[in-house]
Amino acid sequence: MSEADYHSELTDNQKNWDDRAKVHMASDFYGVDQLVADPHQITTTVQHDFAVLKPWLPQQTVANLSLLHLQCHIGTDTLSWQRLGATQVTGLDFSPQSLVDAREIARRADAPITYVQGDARFASQKIQTQFDVVVTSMGTITWLPELTSWAQSIAALLKAGGTFMIRDDHPFLNALDFESFIVHADYFNDGALTYEQDSSYTDHSEHKIQHTVNHNWNHDFQELMTALLAAGLTVEFLGEYPRTEWPALPDLIQRDGWYELPEGAPQIPLTFALVARKPSA
């Protein structure tokens, strides 16, 4: 498909995420007021992301490293990376309302973060700087119709020797349709999964989304790895985990900041993480 073929679907998604941003700002799930008020608070997502990324950093820290956060949404995780010591912190998202809120959060937290609007697949067309670290996490690439342009953009935005990390929902969850242990849908990326939903994954969101149409694309490991390798990156690590940050399947048990599979359930992966590096010049 050509880029023009995706225009309608991506426009639907952008309107949906503009609505979500307003709901998420007021949610307990994101806890914006508490995050802003406590300069030492780091979001649960970034705590988990950093645990994956840390062993692959030059001195096991992002302190004094420039960092780009792709698909940053309202910027709570972006703020957390800045609080961990990253410099020249930049967030990119396709939703204008999300970035309005992200800039407001950064202003309230007195955090020097730059935000840019754009499609993550073409971030290098919007941002001319290169970074030591590029990250993206949880519920991100399912909103991208293809990964070839995305991987090429990441490679262009990394400095030589720079590190990329993604942690996200496992693609097998899409085959389960996020609703049971029975396979309901395609595992491979054979086109968009389109559905309507007037709520989000946060609390108090029922019937608050006006633009209800969503389009998702499932990206299996073959597609993900092929895109990154073709872009010239070296894959350093791939992990799969039986836990996630949200109730991705019924009956998951909430424990210590995670949702985990109940005892006796099939032990299947719920999330994955991947670290890649741009070769040194």
Domains (ranges, CATH) in the chain?
3-168+220-243+272-277 (3.40.50.150)
Whether residue 67 contacts residue 113, with contact meaning beta carbons closer than 8 Å, is answered with no
Whole-number pLDDT of residue 207: 62
Whole-number pLDDT of residue 179: 87
State the burial class of residue 225 (Cβ atoms within 10 Å of its Cβ: 0-12, 13-18, 19+): middle
Q: Is the dihedral of CA 75, 76, 77, 78 positive or negative?
A: positive
Whether residue 214 contacts residue 19, with contact meaning beta carbons closer than 8 Å, is answered with no
Whole-number pLDDT of residue 13: 94
| Ramachandran quadrant class, 180 (left: phi over 0; alpha: psi -120 to 50; beta: rest) | beta
Whole-number pLDDT of residue 208: 76
Which helix (H) or strand (E) segment holds residue 137: the answer is strand 131-137
Written as six digits, the tokens of 277 are 């590096």
pTM above threshold 0.85: yes
- Could you list the mean pLDDT of each consecutive 10-residue stretch along the chain, which spans 281 residues? 82 93 86 95 97 97 98 97 98 97 97 98 97 97 97 98 98 90 83 81 72 90 97 98 93 92 92 97 72
Tell me the Cα Rg of the chain: 18
Whether residue 10 contacts residue 87, with contact meaning beta carbons closer than 8 Å, is answered with no
State the burial class of residue 160 (Cβ atoms within 10 Å of its Cβ: 0-12, 13-18, 19+): exposed
